[in-house]
Amino acid sequence: MALHVMDEANRCLGCKKPMCQQGCPIRTPIPEVIKLLKANKLDEAGWMLFENNPLTTVCALICNHEKQCEGHCVLGRKGAPVHFSVIESYISTTYASKMVKGPAPSNGMKVAIIGSGPAGITIAILMARRGYDVTIFEGKDKIGGILRYGIPEFRLPKSVLDDIQYRHLELKGIKIRPNMQIGGAITLDDLFRDGYKAIFVGTGVWRPNTLKIKGETFGHVHYAINYLNNPDSFRLGKKVIVVGAGNAAMDVARTALRKGAEDVTCISITKKVAASEYEYSYAQLEGVKFLFNKKPVEITDDGIILRDIVENEDGSFTDVEGSDELNTCDSIIISISQGPQNNIVGSTQGLHATGRGLLDADERGRTSRPGIFASGDVVAGARTVVEAVAHSKVVADAMHEYIMSLPKDME
């Protein structure tokens, strides 16, 4: 492993204008990190990675590197790019075990974090670094949000998240209240009553989007977000059809194969998959089949009826009449993204949502209610982890500025 990492590091040209860094949503200082590694300063390189991105151990494994850092590497224009994902994973996981520093000196002020997905974890860590007394309210039994309950173990080991909880949250004095839904028994107003100076909402998007076709309520139909939450609770049978062709659909298909399915097919409405080439290639390698330019029109007890469609030059679609065909299967999993659940909006006066049901917040995460901030999927819809982390750094600054602007008797 070390030889492979150093081989990749030695291929780096150390460009004066690093396009790899420009391609990274969180602007990881890639050339500087590689330079430190080559100088046998692994700990300094690790510190630099975590200072820039608290979820570097996660992003090293699941980022869409081919379109971000590695996709912008100049070496990739005529050959193979420097595989920084390998370098980042090695440095961050090696350095992570040395992170034992306790909490920062307290500033005596409390902030609340609703949800412990990528955005919530990032905000919690950044606010704790500034000395805030941070409490995370998590609706499930463990932290991680979509990282834990929406990404399979073979792509992101749960041990990585457990390590983040210990080293980045518990050692920093961050408190966690699991199995705690905000918007029911406890509201955001209750948190303000109890002295929290600012509240961050990062509840993610957990309500699956539906096809809205006949048969969708049948017992052999499931949704991707529910299946990935706990695959072992499902009995899919031998033949499975996945409606969707994004990265989540690839996770579903590959998980289903690992759980006993023998024949798995993904359905794409377009002529190509929406997933990254990396995830698509793995799915193909593992035996997942694909049907393109197909539109689900009805679900029956025996399977799903698909209709051929033609993709026009302007991006619209035209149905091919008379092409309906029943594709038999034991189970159907629908994977066409997710939307938000609005418990918090419905229970909080003055908090506005967009027409899509997402929290309405500006570019710095400020919502319509002073003191309440939001970012991540609950604001932008389903996006990448690194985008959520990058935006959360901006929001953490805005939260700190807001609290500092409060009258002294309110601090």
304 within domain boundaries:
yes
Asked if pLDDT for residue 36 goes beyond 80, the answer is yes
CA angle, residues 291, 293, 298, in degrees to nearest 5: 80
pLDDT of residue 312: 87
241 within domain boundaries:
yes
Asked if pLDDT for residue 168 goes beyond 90, the answer is no
Same domain, yes or no, for 391 and 363? yes
The last residue of one of the domains, among 52, 69, 96, is 96
CATH number at residue 248: 3.50.50.60
Asked if pLDDT for residue 62 goes beyond 90, the answer is yes
The last residue of one of the domains, among 96, 126, 145, is 96
CA angle, residues 111, 403, 356, in degrees to nearest 5: 70
Tell me what the mean pLDDT of segment 118-138 comes to: 95
pLDDT confidence bin for 205, thresholds 50/70/90: confident
Residue owning tokens 């902030």: 111
Token couple for 378? 């609950």
39 within domain boundaries:
yes
Same domain, yes or no, for 326 and 351? no
Same domain, yes or no, for 301 and 183? no
326, 334 Cβ separation under 8 angstroms: no
Same domain, yes or no, for 118 and 91? no
Same domain, yes or no, for 134 and 188? yes
196 within domain boundaries:
yes
Same domain, yes or no, for 194 and 248? no
Number of domains present in the structure of the chain: 3
The 10s digit of each residue's pLDDT in 312-366 is 888 889 999 999 999 999 999 999 987 766 567 666 777 777 776 777 889 999 9
Q: Given the DSSP bridges, would you call strands 207-208 and 110-114 parallel, antiparallel or unpaired? A: unpaired
101 within domain boundaries:
no
The last residue of one of the domains, among 307, 336, 365, is 336
**Alpha-carbon gap, residue 287 to 171, rounded angstroms:** 43
Q: Rounded to whole angstroms, what are the CA distances from 152 to 62, 192, 237?
A: 11, 36, 19
pLDDT of residue 381: 63
**Alpha-carbon gap, residue 339 to 377, rounded angstroms:** 9
Same domain, yes or no, for 309 and 197? no
332 within domain boundaries:
yes
In percent, the amount of the chain with pLDDT more than 90 equals 76
- Bigger pLDDT: 49 vs 350: 49
Same domain, yes or no, for 43 and 118? no
343 within domain boundaries:
yes
Asked if pLDDT for residue 183 goes beyond 90, the answer is no
Same domain, yes or no, for 273 and 298? yes
Same domain, yes or no, for 361 and 316? no
The 10s digit of each residue's pLDDT in 233-269 is 999 999 999 999 999 999 999 999 999 999 999 999 9
Closest listed residue to residue 23, CA positions, set 80, 79, 78, 84: 84
Mean pLDDT of the chain: 91
How big is the chain by its Cα radius of gyration, in Å? 23
Same domain, yes or no, for 332 and 346? no
Q: Residue 347, SS3?
A: helix
Same domain, yes or no, for 91 and 123? no
Q: Which domain holds residue 258?
A: 210-336
In percent, the amount of the chain with pLDDT more than 70 equals 95
